[in-house]
């Protein structure tokens, strides 16, 4: 994006400088590493037993009155641990710096937001996208939900479906149908709402952010996760050597919510929602004035917007959080198993292998902590909500305490929520180590508290921390709500059931004849087998699978020369208007197979999956939109797409109207062959 364009988009981001002051305990240093009992010199049993002989006096609050309750050794040592650890440990700073250097945990997202003091080198290092904080496709999806009477999470609306007549009125000027006094307005409600989302008419809430953040936010907004199960396996992200790569997908999700919870961004999202609510309320008043004249029942429309957004926000946050937690668990299980299998030695310092494994566990615990505390879309201060905005809420009375000894609860204030979570986790990690039950056997002297077993065993220490984190997560977030099907799957099935033309399949063209017909048939067999392998983790996709079809045509038979994409596009534009055009296929995207595509399947190379050419049917190579092209430099209406991503990645994104080929090109443009390989491609 050019500097002249960026300068017009900094209305909101100036206030982000102040947000830095809110991050004195930023996500870079949220979790006190001493909470993790990270590897240090092994404590000898002989040293621990001498604590039995100490006569310790604790400040009031760290131990119960001995006259009322006889403290056992475990309680005494727990309180000693709490006392000595309340301000962290001498190792905390170095361990935190090491974690940041490893780059396996979220950064907090500020570096992905263009700000007035962003240096020229930082600007050049990223591709910047103007973000409309409330995604534009939300408006048509909301209107669809009012018509079907089903919310984003699949639950029925509390309101009856909105009539087609009312939906049509929403797309017409009030002056053409509304009674006085509403008939003086020539505004079209749908257009008013789209303007508020972000436009030249109302640009005050547009924010320049990095392409990688924008790409992840756009897909998460529609409940589309970063990777399918198949793609995870293709990238071998379960392999220990790919731990860093796996963590990047976790970080990308959490950073998206760090961004959405920055005070200026959260406020701008709230304002956008409220402006749209006001337009809907005006429209509702006009409709009801008309209905009263016609003796028809009144309708509620603004309240539907509140209901829809609340359900949608909850779905987006819940789905994203569940994916992160499941992925963390997936990565952690083999690490714990490997750590448990390392034989005990007489050495008092951890081995290099133990350091490596416990560093990974440290990173996963921090990832879980940031996800638990950040992945929310609170609605404090929203029209329709009882809770006032909590952005400037005063700190709780015990904010300065070193621990949270009582169960915590949700706070709409991100800083309060984060502080509560980390201090509660710090407390429960220690109580779990010293007082937890069923540790498993170790050959320890009789009478020693179980905490000694834990602190002498890295794997058991880590498991205690996992247990503590699960308890804190439950306190803050409650029981996870099961998600029966992905949002895009639900909407696709809903659309199919409506009887409308569901554009899902593709018309594809042979655009190279460098191979024999036998080789061409072999390619088609391999290609169609490849793209058929999708959605194994998805439910209720059978009907969609039946429509996942490719309709092949030979471009040469149509008088189109090999490799001539522009002529092919022109032909397709005419073909899609004919009666013979297949139903149930995309009219705005076509596929093609040139020599590179065919070779990618017949002669595959390591580290590169088979791909196909996706062509934007409406791209005009003669049209120059400088401002828009800054966000997709070099886009020519063509993106090569991995076969494994055709249906449940690209297909889902296009169907949900969140990203098209124009938006996907920046994720492919750094690939040697221009292949889109997923949301983190090239970054």
In a domain, 73, yes or no: no
pLDDT at residue 159, as a whole number: 98
135, 663 in Cβ contact below 8 A? no
What is the band of 682 on the pLDDT scale with cuts at 50, 70, 90?
Answer: low
Domain final residue pick, 477, 509, 536 = 477
Mean pLDDT in residue range 136-153: 96
Residue 210, H or E segment: strand 206-210
* C-alpha separations of 560 from 127, 510, 555, 564, 571 in Å: 36, 10, 5, 7, 9
> pLDDT at position 580, please?
95
Q: What is the mean pLDDT of residues 17-28?
A: 34
Instruction: Compute the radius of gyration of the chain from its Cα atoms.
Output: 29
Q: Does a structural domain hold residue 61?
A: no
**Does some domain include residue 76?**
no
Same domain, 310 and 398: yes
Do residues 182 and 174 lie in contact, with contact meaning Cβ atoms separated by under 8 Å? yes
Please report, for residues 161, 405, 491, 494, the alpha-carbon distance to residue 148 in angstroms, rounded to integers and kept in the order given. Answer: 6, 47, 10, 8
398 with 519, same domain: the answer is: no
Average pLDDT, the chain: 88
Q: Which of helix, strand or coil describes residue 316?
A: helix
What range does the domain containing 509 cover? Answer: 494-676
Q: What is the mean pLDDT of residues 16-23?
A: 35
Do 471 and 563 share a structural domain? no
| Mean pLDDT computed over 580-597 | 97
DSSP assignment string, 473-503: HHHHH-SPPP--S-HHHHHHHHHHHTTS---
User: Cα separation of 469 and 451, whole Å?
Assistant: 18
Lowest mean pLDDT among 587-596, 603-612, 624-633: 624-633
Q: What pLDDT sits at residue 371? A: 99
Q: How confident is the model at residue 271 (pLDDT cuts 50, 70, 90)?
A: very high
With both helix axes pointing from N to C terminus, report the angle between 138-148 and 189-197 in degrees, rounded to the nearest 10.
Answer: 140
Cβ density class 464-481: b for 16+ within 10 Å, e for less:
bbbebbbbbbebbbeeee
DSSP 643: G
Domain co-membership, 440 together with 500: no
User: Does one domain contain both 448 and 555?
Assistant: no
- Higher-scoring residue by pLDDT: 435, 574: 574
414 and 528 in a common domain = no
Residue 40 within any structural domain of the chain: no
The mean per-residue pLDDT over the stretch 111-134 comes to 95
Total number of domains in the chain = 2
CA angle, 468 then 473 then 475, to 5°: 100
In this structure, is residue 151 part of a structural domain?
A: yes
Angle at CA 419, nearest 5°, toward 380 and 417?
20
Residues 469 and 501 in one domain: no
Task: Give yes or no: residues 443 and 520 share one domain.
Answer: no
Quick one: 199 and 335 in the same domain? yes
Q: Does the pLDDT value for residue 675 go beyond 50?
A: yes
Same-domain check for residues 191 and 315: yes
Instruction: Let me know if residue 72 belongs to a domain.
Output: no
Q: For residues 597 and 523, what is the distance between their CA atoms, to the nearest angstrom?
A: 9
Q: Tens digit of pLDDT for each residue in 79-122?
A: 888 888 888 777 778 888 999 999 999 999 999 999 999 999 99
The answer to whether residues 459 and 517 belong to one domain is no
Indicate whether 550 pLDDT > 60: yes
User: pLDDT digits over 327-368, tens only?
Assistant: 999 999 999 999 999 987 767 788 999 999 999 999 999 999
Stretch 188-213: mean pLDDT: 95
pLDDT at 420 over 70: yes
Q: What DSSP letter does each residue of 89-133 carry, written as one string?
A: -TTHHHHHHHHHHHT-S---SGGGB--TT--HHHHHHS-EEEEES
Do residue 521 and residue 467 come from a single domain? no
Residue 576 has pLDDT above 70, yes or no: yes
Query: Is residue 193, in this structure, part of any structural domain at all?
Result: yes
Of 477, 510, 536, the residue that ends a domain is 477
Residue 366 lies in a domain: yes
């Amino acid at each position: 994006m050019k500097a002249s364009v960026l300068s017009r988009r900094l209305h909101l981001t100036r206030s982000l400088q102040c947000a830095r002051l809110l991050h004195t305990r930023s996500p870079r240093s949220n979790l006190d590493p001493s909470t993790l009992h990270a590897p240090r010199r092994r404590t000898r049993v002989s040293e621990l037993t001498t604590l039995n002989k100490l006569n310790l006096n604790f400040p009031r609050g760290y131990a119960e009155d001995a006259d009322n309750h006889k403290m056992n050794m475990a309680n005494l040592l727990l309180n000693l641990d709490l006392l000595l650890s309340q301000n962290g440990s001498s190792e905390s700073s170095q361990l935190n710096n090491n974690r940041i250097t490893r780059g396996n945990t979220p950064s907090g997202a500020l570096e992905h937001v263009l700000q007035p003091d962003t240096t020229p080198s930082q600007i050049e290092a990223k591709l910047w996208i103007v973000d409309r904080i409330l995604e534009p496709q939300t408006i048509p999806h909301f209107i669809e939900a009012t018509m079907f009477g089903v919310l984003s999470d699949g639950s029925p609306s509390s309101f009856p479906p909105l009539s087609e007549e009312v939906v049509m009125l929403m797309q017409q000027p009030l002056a053409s149908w509304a009674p006085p006094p509403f008939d003086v307005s020539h505004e079209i409600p749908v257009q008013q709402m789209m303007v508020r989302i972000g436009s030249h008419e109302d640009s005050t809430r547009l924010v320049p952010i990095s392409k990688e953040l924008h790409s992840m936010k756009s897909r998460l907004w529609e409940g589309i996760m970063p990777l399918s199960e198949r793609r995870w396996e293709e990238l071998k992200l379960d392999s220990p050597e790919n731990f860093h790569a796996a963590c990047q997908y976790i970080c990308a999700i959490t950073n998206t919510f760090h961004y959405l919870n920055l005070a200026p961004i959260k406020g701008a999202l709230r304002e956008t929602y409220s402006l749209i609510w006001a337009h809907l309320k005006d429209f509702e008043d006009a409709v009801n004035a008309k209905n009263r004249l016609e003796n028809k029942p009144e309708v509620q429309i603004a309240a539907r917007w509140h209901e829809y957004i609340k359900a949608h926000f909850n779905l987006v946050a819940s789905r994203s959080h569940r994916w992160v937690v499941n992925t963390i668990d997936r990565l952690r299980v083999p690490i714990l198993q490997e750590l448990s299998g390392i034989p005990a030695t007489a050495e008092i310092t951890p081995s290099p292998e133990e350091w490596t494994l416990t560093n990974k566990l440290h990173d996963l615990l921090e990832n879980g902590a940031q996800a638990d505390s950040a992945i929310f879309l609170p609605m404090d201060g929203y029209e329709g909500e009882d809770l006032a905005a909590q952005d400037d809420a005063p700190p709780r009375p015990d904010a300065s305490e070193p621990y949270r000894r009582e169960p915590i609860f949700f706070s709409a204030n991100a800083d309060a929520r984060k502080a509560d979570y980390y201090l509660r986790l710090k407390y429960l990690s220690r109580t779990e180590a010293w007082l937890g039950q069923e540790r498993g056997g170790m050959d320890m002297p009789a009478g020693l508290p179980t905490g000694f077993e834990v602190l002498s065993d890295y794997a058991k220490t880590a498991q205690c921390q996992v247990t503590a984190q699960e308890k804190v997560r439950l306190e803050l977030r409650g029981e996870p709500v099961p998600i029966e099907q992905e949002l895009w799957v639900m909407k696709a099935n809903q659309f199919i059931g409506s009887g409308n033309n569901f554009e899902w399949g593709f018309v594809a063209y042979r655009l190279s004849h460098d191979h024999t017909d036998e080789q061409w048939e072999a390619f088609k067999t391999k290609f169609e087998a490849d793209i058929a392998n999708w959605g194994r983790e998805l439910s209720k996709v059978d009907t969609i699978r039946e429509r996942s079809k490719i309709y092949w045509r030979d471009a040469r038979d149509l008088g189109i020369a090999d490799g001539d994409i522009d002529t092919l596009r022109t032909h397709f534009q005419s073909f899609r208007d004919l009666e013979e055009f297949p139903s149930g296929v995309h009219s705005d995207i076509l596929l093609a197979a040139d020599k590179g595509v065919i070779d990618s399947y017949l002669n595959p190379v390591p580290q590169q999956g088979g791909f196909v050419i996706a062509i934007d049917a409406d791209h005009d190579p003669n049209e120059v939109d400088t401002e828009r092209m800054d966000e997709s430099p070099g886009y020519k209406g063509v993106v090569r797409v991995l076969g494994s991503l055709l249906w449940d990645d690209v297909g889902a994104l296009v169907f949900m109207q969140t990203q098209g080929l124009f938006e996907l090109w920046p994720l492919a443009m750094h690939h040697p062959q221009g292949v889109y390989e997923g949301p983190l491609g090239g970054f």
